[in-house]
């Protein structure tokens, strides 16, 4: 019971903190996502280490380059009017990591180079699409589609799975997830997205909100399962302990990470938003 209370309390705090940031947007949301991205990078890099080297984690040169690249990427997002310069920066970071890899060879293996840059894209860049969506035209409304598609889907999938789930969705990755729950999650997210569009969207766009939410919900489940696959590969239960009762940033935002860029793109194609 105590663990449940802690989980509920931390959920309330997280919703209030994130909800206020999504509503206000701008530097407040930027700073929150920068913090989440840097912590997420730390969690990912630590999870990639052998078990005996995770305690007292100290980043190496490639990982420090990733942390610095994450900060510079977010700084350019704040200052740039397009994604051109952040993309240029990412290419530069990759080249720098390659140079470090060559200079330090054979201290670092090619797998370490690949995962160091992958983490920068997976955690930092993909999560930044929450900020990019919020800063787009009608972003104060559209950005909620990210969390409807991920967290509402997750909640509905859990409830439907408990009630009628019989057929395993991905037994090797997440034995408790069911096909019935997965379908229920998509339907639940689509229904909430449609209702959100009717209440807060422009006239005639509710069907678009439904489609965006449903597509995002499908993708979000792959994000959840991918995070589970990485944890199974490296024999860890949670990425971290930052959020009591939930784990780390990557445990709570695993589906958001993959959903954010999808909603950003679909909102422009289906809802006609204009983004930088």
pLDDT for the residue 161: 93
Q: Which residue has the tokens 């990733």?
A: 66
Residues 6+ away with beta carbon under 8 Å from 169: 177, 178, 179, 181, 182, 221
Our CA angle for 60, 61, 64, nearest 5°, is 85
Numbers of helices and strands, H then E, in the chain: 13, 2
pLDDT for the residue 275: 60
- How confident is the model over 79-123, as pLDDT tens digits? 887 888 999 999 999 999 999 999 999 989 999 999 999 999 999
- Across all residues in the chain, what is the average pLDDT? 91
- Residue 176 has phi, psi (to 5 degrees) of -85, -15
Residues 6+ away with beta carbon under 8 Å from 84: none
Q: How far apart are the first and last CA of the chain?
A: 46
Residue 114 has a CB neighbour count (10 Å cut-off) of 12
- How confident is the model over 143-182, as pLDDT tens digits? 999 999 999 999 999 999 999 988 999 888 888 899 999 9
Query: What global pTM score does this model have?
Result: 0.93
Domain residues of the chain, as ranges? 2-269
Which residue, 54, 36, 65, is CA-closest to 234?
54
Q: Report CA-CA distances (Å) from 41 to 25, 44, 81, 142.
A: 23, 5, 26, 26
Question: Cα–Cα distance between 211 and 189 in angstroms, integer?
Answer: 10
């Amino acid at each position: 019971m105590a663990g449940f209370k802690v989980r509920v309390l931390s959920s309330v705090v997280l919703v209030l903190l994130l909800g206020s940031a999504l509503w206000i947007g701008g530097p407040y949301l930027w700073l929150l996502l920068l913090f989440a991205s840097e912590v997420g990078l730390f969690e990912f890099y630590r999870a990639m280490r052998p078990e005996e080297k995770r305690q007292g984690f100290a980043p190496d040169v490639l990982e420090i380059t990733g942390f610095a690249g994450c900060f510079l990427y977010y700084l350019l997002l704040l200052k740039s009017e397009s994604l051109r310069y952040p993309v240029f920066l990412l290419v530069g970071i990759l080249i720098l990591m390659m140079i470090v890899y060559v200079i330090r060879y054979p201290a670092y293996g090619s797998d370490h180079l690949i995962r160091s840059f992958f983490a920068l894209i997976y955690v930092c860049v993909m999560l930044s699409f929450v900020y990019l969506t919020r800063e787009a035209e009608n972003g104060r409304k559209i950005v909620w589609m990210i969390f409807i598609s991920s967290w509402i889907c997750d909640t509905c999938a859990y409830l439907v799975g408990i009630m009628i789930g019989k057929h395993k969705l991905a037994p090797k990755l997440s034995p408790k997830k069911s096909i019935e729950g997965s379908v229920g999650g998509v339907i639940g997210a689509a229904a909430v997205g449609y209702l959100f569009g009717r209440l807060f969207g422009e006239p005639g766009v509710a069907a678009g909100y439904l489609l965006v939410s449903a597509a995002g919900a499908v993708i979000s489940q792959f994000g959840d399962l991918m995070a589970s696959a990485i944890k199974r590969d490296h024999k860890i239960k949670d990425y971290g302990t930052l959020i009591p009762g939930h784990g780390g940033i990557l445990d709570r935002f695993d589906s958001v990470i993959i959903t954010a860029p999808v909603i950003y793109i679909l909102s422009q194609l289906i809802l006609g938003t204009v983004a930088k």
